Structure 1
Amino acid sequence: MEKLKARWGIKSNFQIIVIFFVFALNGSIAVRLATPVTHFFGLYQDTTNPWLFWPVRIALIFPIYQILLVVVGTLFGQHQF
Structure 2
Amino acid sequence: MSNKNVNPNAKKALEEMKLEIANEIGVEANNKYGSNNTSYENSQLGGRVVGFMSKRLVKMSQQALLKQYNSKNDI
**What's the TM-score bracket when you normalise by the shorter of the two chains?**
0.3 to 0.5
More helix, by proportion: 1
Q: Which has the higher contact order (CA 8 A, sep 6+)?
A: 1
Give me the TM-score of the superposition, normalised by structure 2: 0.48
